[in-house]
Each structure stands twice: as structure tokens, then as C-alpha cells.
Structure 1
């Protein structure tokens, strides 16, 4: 077991210099501050591309966590696997995840408690190069105080399998659920806007069955969250919906990004 999971995409998806990274995140949060009103959500969905592309969208939902900075002590973070194919959900054996901003301790006791779920396995290979979880960590380190992390990479799994794990980890006000997902990939600008709007309507309706296979790369963890939220009578709100053509890229082939709060 390696005690630390070292950062895999620092210097690519986001700056590897701590001071530069802090400045960038603070600038993104300041720009999104107009949306930071009301109580902090129980769960959020945030995108996971390079910060130049999806950072402004992610900041719009991370800014909402400010009121809970000193209350949230545990973060359950799920994102899709981009590199390693496997069934179920992958937990790490590490004790901490490192970023340029420092080390995030894992809730090793809670992770060990998942061993009874047949869909959960310990697979450090699924975490080693996965960016969908890593890019969320500097935002969390900036907007929250001290917290422990339960990171799970989601492979080939059903919505109900994800929901079962989320129900187990749901906790109270001290626990934040974070789902990492981009939306549609590599359509032209207008097509992407239409597809992503439809996905946002499905998310707001807590209706994962209406999210098509290729319309959200994190559809499986998103779907599990929506089922859990529906059972609890919660509501989902779209805070930001843009794509790479709006932020930092050309418009002939874009990737969609949405930010959502569930409360």
C-alpha cells in the first residue's frame, strides 16, 4: 500500500505551483460569487476538465459551500473511470490524496466499512491516473476547512449499486456528496447546448433514466445520486450550464459543463 496517492494531472489540468493554483481558484470563486447565496447544498455535481475550460462552471457551485465551511467534515467524492475498465466502484487503499495545496486525509474507517458491499473493491490502479476526482480536490481544499475524504471511482455499475453506497455514506450536515461529471462531448456548439439543456432538465427532474449514455460521462454516479435525492424529497438546481466554446475553446467540437446543487 502506498500511503499517499500523488497528483497525476497537476501541471496539466490545473497549476502545479501552489501559489498560482490558489490565485486561480480564488479568482474563479470571486468571479462566481454573485451566485453564492442561500444555504449550502447537501450534494453537488461539478465538471472535471482542465480549469481553463470548466473551472468557471465548477466555481459557481463550489462558491455555494462557503456557509458550510466549518460544518462539513467529510466529503464523499464519486467520479467516472476514464482509464481503467472494471465493474462496480473502486476504493483506494491510500491514507491520503496529495495536491499542490497539501494532503487530504482519507476516512479510512468509512472506506473499510464498504467492504461488505459486493460492488465495491479496492483498486489503486483505478485511482492512480484518474483526473475526475483529482481536479475537485483543490476546490474543496479552498472552500472547506479540515475534512476527510471518501473517494470512489465508478466503473461499469448500475444506478442502484451507486445509490446503495451513497445511502450508506449519506450522513448528516457534516457530510457533503460531490459527483464529478462533464456533459456531452465533441458536438458542435449548438448541438451541445441543446443536448446539455435536456440533460439539465433530467437532472432537475431527478430522472436519471432520461440521461442518455453519451450525454454525461459521469451519468452512473449522477444517476445514483439522483435516485438517492429523489427518495429523500430533495431538489436539484442548475447553477451554471456552459461548454468549452463559452470558456476557452473553439465551437466546432465542444465539451459541455454543468454545475448543480442538490438540497
Structure 2
């Protein structure tokens, strides 16, 4: 594959998709970016990737601005932009790079990153095609936004034709880099649907994108191929997807008879706290899905995370109006965590012998809590007084075993049994022993939990 001539790809859609005058274009972009709401403070790191729409600015510009405006804070950090968009005019097999040295817009020229392009050149899905880029608007319309919010950057433009998500992901992996590299996927959503149907369709598509579900088709997003490739790579790198804006041309340009959908998404590496929040959300959705399936209700997308397929032990607690409605769990990890949560949720709803099976009418008013247990550790004690002195109220979950009798209290039980002596007495009663029972053969183990509860 040969690349890099000293030619410049001129702007092809300036004056149609966006203003052709540098003065008017600058004023338009300042207004679009200035009209976006201020970014909320986040514990997450800066975005690694974004999805932005690519229609004319009068239609999709306000939505694109919501994902570009926060990048202004990174203007001195981002030095390379890997830009992928679908081909609309020229069919191509694979992902096409041009042979030019720069792309031009009314705001100036953006140099191509020859070194980065050379790194992906050996991949069989990467080809050279100036024709695929010559009149393609999906990449070009992103450049004035990037030129406005960033200082200096090089560009890797990829016009995506017939390719698999895994082939796209392989290219992204090769170019991933660190904080200096931003990945931009250019895609609109549904096309030419009536306004109400478009809103429904695009909302469902957004749920799948946020869940990193790489199974979009081209009716959901014209850039489904590069979007799916990004979603695969985002999973592998532990990125979190956030929906920043979701509107359509009926919202921005007025005509609601046949609209085009637009979404703005950012993908960020998550902090440790945010990672646990994301896992908790996935576990809560998994638990509710397991219960809802009993009534034939459609499941909600679950954000894929490595922990879900690892062995894990969980308890699922159901409450209604603040009162216990079911609680079933596992003390030892013996199956994938997602499976454990789903099975325990189903059992808590329908097989807890203390309660009648949950009805469909109760489900909307029932709240789910998931507790993820740490491995239990033996808690050797000399006697009951020693145990009571060393228990940590509010922290310790406790397993009591005596012969074939066994019982546990989650750490949450401390909320209603704050006194260690009362906590221990009730646990013995739960195991079928007398409240004042003690025997040297009785054994204890303790564990901790992370817990998440629906609001």
C-alpha cells in the first residue's frame, strides 16, 4: 500500500453542509458550542472516543456540539484524531485512507498522520482510495468542530465500507495510543421515519450503544459498522459510554413528517468508583431482567463487564414499601456472577418460602438490592465473648455453622440489629439453635459486601 503525496483534499461540502465562509463558519461554530449546557463534573477521565452526527449543521450541529464542547478542555492534550465514518457515495471494501497529505476546510488544513497510517497499512482491511474520500461528507463535517475545539492535531481519516466490526476494532486497537489520541465515529441514527417512530427507534439504539452492544444494523445507524467496531474495542478497554444528546431533524429543523435521528455519545475510561457503580448497575439490571422474564417482559440491555463472567457469590434482596419481600443468595462463588445474580433474583422473587411468589402487579413497586460477597474468611474465636468483642458492626457479614446447621446475616442486618449480642443471638435462632447456645464446635466465618439498591 502506497501513501502520502503532497496533495490536499479540498473541502467538498463547504457551502452546503456547513458555511463556506471562514468568518460565517467560525461564528456558527461559536454559537453552536456556546449554546451547549455546561459539562457536569465527573469522576471519569477525559473521553477516549466520541460518536457525533454528520448531517448539515442546521440539522445536526446542535447535537454534535454537545459532544465537542467538552473537548475544549483537552485542546492541549489531544494531538491525533482517528476519524471514521461510513461511505455514502463510493463503495469500498474495507477501511479506506486517502493518498493525500492533508484535508482542507475553510478554517485551514489538517495534516494527515503519516506515521499512524503507516502502522495500519499492513492490515488487509486497510486500502487506499481517494475516490472514497473525494465527496464524502461524513468525515469532512467533523473537521471544523475539531479545528475549533483543539489546538493542533494530525488526522487519520478512514472511510468505512464493507467490513466487519472486528476488522474495525483491529484498526482502532492498532491506533489506540494514550490520552493524545481521540477516536471520533461519525454516524447518524435512523433515517426518514415519522417523528414518533424515530424517537422510539433512536431511544432503543441509544440504549444498545450505552450498553456496548455491538449488534447495530444500518437501519439503526448509517455508521453501524464503525460504531460496532468502537463498541467492541470499548468493551476490551473498559470504557463507559454516556449519552449526551439525542434528538432528530424534527427537533432542530421543524419538519416532523420524515426525520433523521442524531445522537452524541462519549466513551471514557472509568475511575475505580465509577467502575463499581457501573458493575452495580449491570447487576441490578440482570436481577430485574431475570424476574421480568417470568412475566414475558422485554429485558433491558446489560453493560458488558469482565466481572459478569467471572465466578462470584451474591445475595439478591427484594423489598416493597421498605419491607422484606424475598432474599436468596450464595455464600460461595460457584458460577458466573451474572448467572448467580439472575438465579438468586428469580429464587428471591418466586421461591423464598417465607413469602408468596411475586406477582406481576407487585413488580413495579418492588425494589431490588444486590450484594456482592467477598470470599468468606475463617473467624476463629476462643468463646462467644471473644466473638462479640471482635465483630465489626456494619462491616462484617457472618456465617455461623454447627454440625448441619448453618445461617448467615449480611452486613445490612446491622442496620436493624446494631448490638453485637443481639446480632449473634438472632443469627443462632436463624440456624435453629437457642439464642444462648454456645459450643466449642460452633464455627464462624466472616465476609464483606459491596451492595447496590434501586432507587
Category of TM-score, reference length = shorter chain: over 0.9
Deviation at 1:134, TM superposition (A): 0.1
Over aligned residue pairs, what C-alpha RMSD do you find? 1.1
**What is the correspondence of 1:8-47 to structure 2 with a 5 Å cutoff?**
8-35=12-39, 37-38=41-42, 39-47=45-53
Larger RCO, structures 1/2 (Cα 8 Å, 6+ apart): 1
Partner of 2:54: 48
How many equivalent residue pairs?
A: 262
Structure 1, residues 144-198: CA drift from partner, whole Å, max 9, x if none? 0000000000001100000000000000000000000000000000000000001
**What is the correspondence of 1:110-129 to structure 2 with a 5 Å cutoff?**
110-129=116-135
The answer to which structure has the higher helix fraction is 1
Instruction: Report the secondary structure of 1:240's partner residue.
Output: strand
Q: Which has the larger radius of gyration?
A: 2
Checking the alignment, whether the CA contact within 8 Å between 2:187 and 2:221 is kept in structure 1 is: yes
* Structure 1 counterpart of 2:231, from 213, 226, 229: 226
Checking the alignment, whether the CA contact within 8 Å between 1:78 and 1:178 is kept in structure 2 is: yes
Deviation at 1:212, TM superposition (A): 2.9
**What is the correspondence of 1:92-103 to structure 2 with a 5 Å cutoff?**
92-103=98-109
Instruction: Report the secondary structure of 1:8's partner residue.
Output: coil
Deviation at 1:110, TM superposition (A): 1.2
Deviation at 1:208, TM superposition (A): 1.5
Structure 1, residues 216-252: CA drift from partner, whole Å, max 9, x if none? 0001000000000001111100000000000014001
Checking the alignment, whether the CA contact within 8 Å between 1:40 and 1:66 is kept in structure 2 is: no
1:132 and 2:144 aligned: no
Provide TM-score, normalisation by structure 1.
0.97
Deviation at 1:2, TM superposition (A): 6.0
Structure 2 CA distance for aligned equivalents of residues 183 and 165 of structure 1: 23
Flag structure 2 segments of 5+ consecutive residues without an equivalent: 269-455
Flag structure 1 segments of 5+ consecutive residues without an equivalent: none
Structure 2 CA distance for aligned equivalents of residues 50 and 249 of structure 1: 14
Structure 1 CA distance for aligned equivalents of residues 153 and 28 of structure 2: 22
Checking the alignment, whether the CA contact within 8 Å between 1:80 and 1:221 is kept in structure 2 is: yes
Structure 2 CA distance for aligned equivalents of residues 212 and 162 of structure 1: 15
**What is the correspondence of 1:188-207 to structure 2 with a 5 Å cutoff?**
188-207=194-213
